[in-house]
Amino acid sequence: MGIDGIILMDNNGRPIIQSGFRSTSPAYPLVHVDAVNDALSKALRPQDVDPVIHVPSLNIGDAPSACCHLQSSDVRVLCSISGNVDPLFGFAFIQTFLDILQEYFGTVSAATLRENFDTVYQLLEETLDSGGHPLTTSPNALRDIVLPPSLLNKLLSVAGANINTTINSGSGLGGAGGPFSSPIPWRKAGLRYTANEIYFDIVENLVAIINRNSVTLSSNVFGKIEANAKLSGTPDCILSFTNPNVLVDCVFHPCVRLQRWSQHKSLSFIPPDGKFILSEYRYAPNASRASSTVTPASSSREGVTLPFALKPEIDLQDYSASFNIIFTSRLTAKSIENVLIEMNLGEGASGIKCVASRGTASWAFDSQKRVLKWEISNVPPSSSWNLRGSFSTPTIAPRPSRALQVHFDIPTHTFSSLKVDQLKVSGESYKLYKGFRGRSTGNVEWRW
């Protein structure tokens, strides 16, 4: 199972960087770029573009192929596959590669890719075999082979005194710090830090659908434990929680010992160096209800209380519509941040007039996507906000989307109230600094 190649494309549909495509004809990548650009230009709405595009064969006798693509900031990543390759394989690789780029350059954008195109090429060479099979995708191992583009590295490589040269001469660091010398595939060998520290961020995302009677149709909390380890040597960590039973459908970084989790519900692992995602889980409130005292709100069937209430009043008239949306925080102690409420006003909507109450709220209209955006940067506890306005349409019956998308952040809050019991580190004797933090985000569809 291998992909045919990968193409990084800018916003104008021009390829910036592409992998070798050595097993295919030279026209093959071009056909795929064309197919994607064509689909993008034909679509009325961005959602209409299928993320997997069928590409008919160029010559009679060739196999038809497909192109998986996704947008990440202003870069579109294409992955061509043919034969009997699972498109998920393609998407999984795209995601992995984007993560690597993120790790290397901080941000992934057309500008950074152009800036560091030689590094990107080297990364492609190391992560993707010319047969389309992923090679080394662990960031720790990659950092040994492809140097991240730092000022120092540029200096060193120019001076010709870099570590690589030494490796090449067959002496020096070859044994202890050279590439592929680590017995643990995901961890660099021989790491030394003056200050040893490890941080865990628990990030939970609430995904819910509320119907027009404010009844929760579905709500799920998906959590992630992001870690950032800066530890010397080979530390063996055991992370345990006071309430691990609220976690279901858990998946882990390869470093986590699965046996240990299934038996003791604690995470035992030797961390990779740097940032990584230790675990992902789904919050099962029903399991927690028995053990904790959280009282589920009456409006929420599955026990996750929505932190806000929305009251959209939308009146559709001939050739126009008016609306009045009220957003109320239900939290009593914490404030909700970065609230973004989006509504698609439908084809041809224009003449938008809006009044957003209070100063910190603002609204904008994306005329390309026909989306009205209402942003409130900070909603203090129990406060109420509203947006009233109107728009007109060329057709007699305005046809806005029947749902509002609400995105929000709540810092220092987790829906699951997952508590870390302790973090034990064995195998190394130094003292280390540990940090834990919770954060919540939400993505709620509110129908009206």
Query: Where does this chain touch another protein (CB under 8 A) — which range of 34-42, 110-118, 303-311, 434-442?
Result: 110-118
Give the separation between CA 398 and CA 321, rounded to whole angstroms. Answer: 7
Query: Where does this chain touch another protein (CB under 8 A) — which range of 85-93, 307-315, 329-337, 383-391?
Result: 85-93
Q: Is 209 in the site for another protein (CB under 8 A)?
A: yes
Task: Tally the C-alpha atoms within 13 A of residue 249's C-alpha that lie toward its C-beta.
Answer: 10
Q: Is 237 in the site for another protein (CB under 8 A)?
A: no
Give the separation between CA 442 and CA 410, rounded to whole angstroms. Answer: 8
Q: Which residues share a beta bridge with 247?
A: 283
Q: Is 89 in the site for another protein (CB under 8 A)?
A: yes
49 or 326: whose CB is closer to another protein? 49
Give the separation between CA 106 and CA 113, rounded to whole angstroms. Answer: 11
Q: Is 390 in the site for another protein (CB under 8 A)?
A: no
3-class secondary-structure state, position 254? coil
Query: Where does this chain touch another protein (CB under 8 A) — which range of 181-189, 328-336, 418-426, 429-437?
Result: 181-189
| DSSP line for 138-177 | -HHHHHHHS----HHHHHHHHHT-SHHHHHHTT-GGGTTT
Q: Is 394 in the site for another protein (CB under 8 A)?
A: no
Output the smallest distance, CB 399 to another protein, in A.
6
User: Which residue type does 304 have?
Assistant: V
Q: Is 139 in the site for another protein (CB under 8 A)?
A: no
68 or 339: whose CB is closer to another protein? 68
Q: Is 18 in the site for another protein (CB under 8 A)?
A: yes
Query: Where does this chain touch another protein (CB under 8 A) — which range of 11-19, 382-390, 410-418, 429-437?
Result: 11-19
Structure token digits, residue 231: 């530890």
Task: Tally the C-alpha atoms within 13 A of residue 72's C-alpha that lie toward its C-beta.
Answer: 23
Return the residue of 197, 249, 366, 421 that touches another protein, per CB under 8 A. 249
* Residue 373 contacts residue 341 (beta carbons within 8 Å): yes
Give the separation between CA 300 and CA 289, rounded to whole angstroms. Answer: 14
Query: Where does this chain touch another protein (CB under 8 A) — which range of 180-188, 237-245, 380-388, 414-422?
Result: 180-188
183 or 359: whose CB is closer to another protein? 183
Q: Residue 175, exposed/middle/buried by CB under 10 A (0-12, 13-18, 19+)?
A: exposed
Cβ within 8 Å of residue 265, ≥6 positions away: 240, 241, 244, 245
Give the separation between CA 407 and CA 308, rounded to whole angstroms. Answer: 11
Site string (61-80) toward another protein, x via CB under 8 A: -xxxxx-x-x----------
Output the smallest distance, CB 383 to another protein, in A.
27
Output the smallest distance, CB 88 to another protein, in A.
5
* Residue 274 contacts residue 316 (beta carbons within 8 Å): no
Q: Is 366 in the site for another protein (CB under 8 A)?
A: no
Q: Is 352 in the site for another protein (CB under 8 A)?
A: no
Output the smallest distance, CB 241 to another protein, in A.
16
Q: Is 424 in the site for another protein (CB under 8 A)?
A: no
Return the residue of 10, 103, 129, 428 that touches another protein, per CB under 8 A. 129
Return the residue of 39, 40, 58, 111 that touches another protein, per CB under 8 A. 111
* Residue 6 contacts residue 77 (beta carbons within 8 Å): yes
Give the separation between CA 4 and CA 90, rounded to whole angstroms. Answer: 9
Q: Is 282 in the site for another protein (CB under 8 A)?
A: yes
Return the residue of 80, 82, 393, 414 that touches another protein, per CB under 8 A. 82
